Amino acid sequence: MTSHTTNRSSLARYAWLSIAAAIITIVLKAIAYLVTGSVGMLSDVMESFVNLAAALIALAMLTIAARPADENHAYGHSKAEYFSSGVEGTLILIAAISIGVAAVHRLIIPRQLEQIGLGMGVSIAAALVNLMVALFLLRAGRQYRSITLEANAKHLLTDVWTSAGVVVGVGAVALTGRLWLDPVVALMVAANIVWSGGRIVYKSVSGLMDTALPAEDRDTVRKILEPYMQKGVECHAIRTRQSGMRRFVSLHVLVPGGWTVHEGHCMLEIIETSICQALPNVTVFTHLESIDDPASWKDTELDR
């Protein structure tokens, strides 16, 4: 077995950045709601509270995921990230429902908006804070293959779109005087949030179900094995899975029966090292078998 991983202990600092951004935007958006009375801006405040809760959960899960493997968790703790993104997606869906309820109430009972210019300015400032932090987190999430950071970043980007929609809705009310535009925009924002939350939950569930590595990663593994398979060596039972930022690859390598154990072992070391160099944060398991033994061809299934 060969393993190549990146130190994850530094990822928690990104969660602290998300927490700070959530607190700042809560304050700014609360001011915008209080001065305007817009239900759209109220929905924006509610989503920022969800952002704060999600960031706190992300901090806890990233801390757990960074723990090294132990006797009870031999494959590490990286799957903790999927719980974080799953909870975050669920919180997004709850926020969308709350926004929808508030918007329907405002449709039934309209309310005149006040100090629209000031409210819009403060809301735009909050959106810019979220946008900068979201882009930073998204880049870090893709770099470290952290589903928690990616989910947090996409959540913040959803919040940016929420703020943009709210500003458009409030501006439309100011220009036309039609109060119903404010709750209608809030309902549209809620629908967009549902879509985003649903995608995050789906990705989290896929990770918990041990989904295989992306097709491009699997192709990389096959290309590494091809030169050996052209020299009388066979490979089968190739399995991959993603666990947070950690990848796992396992395979059986069948060599001529006349090879010594040392010869076979040396080749496996080269194969494992090549895969680790091509795919960062991967743990490779190989099993050496004789190509001349019929039993070697009967263990390709998960349940032998």
State how far the Cα of 172 lies from the Cα of 113, in Å rounded to an integer. 11
State how far the Cα of 183 lies from the Cα of 157, in Å rounded to an integer. 21
Contacts of 109 (CB under 8 A, 6+ apart): none
Question: Which pLDDT band, with edges at 50, 70 and 90, does 9 fall under?
Answer: low
State how far the Cα of 192 lies from the Cα of 160, in Å rounded to an integer. 11
Question: Which pLDDT band, with edges at 50, 70 and 90, does 255 fall under?
Answer: very high
pLDDT of residue 230: 82
- Kindly tell me if the per-residue pLDDT of 117 is higher than 70: yes
User: Residue 88's closest CA among 209, 207, 197?
Assistant: 197
- Supply the DSSP symbol for 38: -
Q: What is the mean pLDDT of residues 217-246?
A: 89
pLDDT in tens, 139-187: 988 887 777 788 788 878 877 877 887 788 778 888 888 888 878 877 8
State the pTM of this model: 0.63
Question: Which pLDDT band, with edges at 50, 70 and 90, does 8 fall under?
Answer: low
State how far the Cα of 233 lies from the Cα of 271, in Å rounded to an integer. 12
